[in-house]
């Protein structure tokens, strides 16, 4: 409830420093290397990446907890004249929504997992497997906690790897920083 209110107010007052309005180069690179398919953007915000996917020929849907973000996404998609769908809902319970029709070739998560509480992350990770086709890709960007002991709200790299062990193979890991915060892009492939 508080998380929903937090994001609603941030979008309502246009205080969203995480939203650059541009699709990251890592996503563009993925799209250049893979044929269009069926994709979902988890925590899609105002729809930037869903629109990019749709413009590239992907059948794309986005889900976000913020009603305001989804309204912005609908407006942006109409302006871009693309066929993209958006659902207002909790990405940690994405399989509960009839409007989300998988399975997907690609699940994109740019900051959704790291915004969840530590206790909500295992349920969320379980949902990802249910969303994807066998050998589907989960492309994840997350801030990382590199402190010792674990004092931050961001997940550790080992936690993320552990959440997806067994169901997924780690295909790529690219470390970086955003505004001096440690972060990484993870590319997971669902087992066949």
- Per CATH, the number for 2-190 is 3.40.50.150
Give residue limits of the domains in the chain: 2-190
What does the block give as tokens for 81?
């004249």
What does the block give as tokens for 136?
């589907």
- 3-state SS assignment for residue 21: coil
Tens digit of pLDDT per residue, the chain (192 long)? Answer: 566 666 666 666 676 666 777 899 999 999 999 999 999 999 999 999 999 999 999 999 999 988 898 999 999 999 999 999 999 998 888 999 999 989 999 999 998 898 888 888 999 999 999 999 999 999 999 988 777 565 567 888 899 999 999 899 999 998 887 767 788 999 999 998
Instruction: Give the strand order in the sheet containing 181-190.
Output: 84-88, 59-64, 38-42, 104-110, 132-143, 181-190, 168-178
Peptide bond into 103 cis (omega under 30): yes
pLDDT at 5: 63
Q: Return the H-helix or E-strand segment holding 15.
A: none
């Amino acid at each position: 409830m508080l998380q929903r209110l937090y994001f609603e107010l941030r979008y309502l007052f246009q205080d969203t420093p995480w939203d650059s309005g541009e699709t990251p180069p890592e996503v563009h690179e993925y799209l250049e290397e893979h044929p269009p398919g069926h994709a979902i953007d988890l925590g899609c915000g105002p729809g930037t990446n869903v629109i990019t996917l749709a413009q590239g020929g992907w059948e794309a849907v986005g889900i976000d907890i913020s009603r305001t973000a989804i309204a912005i996404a609908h407006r942006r998609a109409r302006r871009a004249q693309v066929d993209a769908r958006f659902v207002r809902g909790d990405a940690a319970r994405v399989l509960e929504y009839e409007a989300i029709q998988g399975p997907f070739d690609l699940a994109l998560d740019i900051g959704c997992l790291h915004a969840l509480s530590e206790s909500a992350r295992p349920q969320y990770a379980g949902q990802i497997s249910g969303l994807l086709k066998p050998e589907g890709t989960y492309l994840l960007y997350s801030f990382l906690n590199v402190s010792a002991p674990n004092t931050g709200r961001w997940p550790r790299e080992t936690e993320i790897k552990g959440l997806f062990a067994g169901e997924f193979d780690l295909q790529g890991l690219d470390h970086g920083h955003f505004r001096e915060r440690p972060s990484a892009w993870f590319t997971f492939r669902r087992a066949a």
